[in-house]
A = this chain, B = another copy of it.
Amino acid sequence: MPSRRDAIADDLRDRIATGRLKPGERLPSESHLAAQYRVSTPTLRSSLAVLQVEGLVEKAHGKGNFVRRPLRRITYVGGGRTLDGQTAADTALSVTVHTTRIRAGGHLAALLKVSASSPLTEFLCLSHEGERPHSLARIYVPCDLAPATALREPLPYGGMTTQLTQLHPPLAEVRERVSVRPPTPEEASTLRISSALAVLAITRQTADTAGRVVEAALLVLPGDRADAVFTTHYVIDEKGTER
């Protein structure tokens, strides 16, 4: 037997799917809905929570619950085609970059395969699509690979990309690990997502032909809007099929 919560969530989901509740529209207040469905407000709120993690409803404290506008999906393209990973070209993204010099701690040292406390340049990137926060990226590069001017005049977004593709030795391999987890409180607030919504977390390592890790990135994308796409081509040589 379906619970009241799920039954109400199903009904509201249907009202959204069939357009009886339109994108951007405000739902009746929680107390009104609770009265309509003849349940208590906590029960009704748990129904809304279901729709919230599905990305169908957006809550705004003091204003109401709103049907989410059909969300433009974010597509992360893997494989190092764009080093920053964002399809920054087609969507008008505004990006703020903070550049800092830090020292590798335990986690970062392992990621970049450098000794602990070796100097790194951190690019902290927050991209917006209009008013809406879009994604969060922390990119780490060994200091000798980052332009010395980066601290004073931050690179434009993607500037590090062209910088790296001209390296010697050249780039050889991109390794990306995708996982899903709840956002940290900071991530939830900067991305303006509910802490109940999972994020897509991508850890990227880029290495050159000498095996040196020239870049590592920690990317965080809101789980309800983000996809990551990876394309791998098989290469045929004389001996058989390889990768």
Contact = CB atoms under 8 A, between A and B. Distances in A.
A243 B53 contact: no
A23 interface: no
A196 B5 CA distance: 13
B178 A227 contact: yes
Interface string A30-55: 00000000000010000000000110
Interface stretch (A127-135, A146-154, A229-237): A229-237
Interface stretch (A62-70, A112-120, A166-174): A166-174
Nearest to A222: B180
Interface in A151-182: 165, 170-182
A226 interface: yes
A81 B230 CA distance: 13
A178 B241 contact: no
A168 to B, nearest CB: 12
A206 to B, nearest CB: 10
Given A54-B182, A79-B243, A223-B198, A236 B170 contact: yes
Contact of A243 (B170, B233, B236): B233
Nearest to A236: B170
A170 B79 CA distance: 22
A70 to B, nearest CB: 16
A85 interface: no
A228 B181 CA distance: 13
Given A234-B80, A236-B170, A243-B79, A200 B229 contact: no
Nearest to A208: B234
A78 interface: yes
B80 A173 contact: no
Contacts of A227: 177-179
B180 A198 contact: yes
Given A178-B230, A180-B180, 9 more contacts: A79-B232, A80-B234, A81-B243, A171-B241, A173-B234, A178-B178, A178-B228, A180-B200, A196-B196
Interface of A: 42, 53-54, 78-81, 165, 170-182, 196, 198-200, 223-224, 226-236, 241, 243
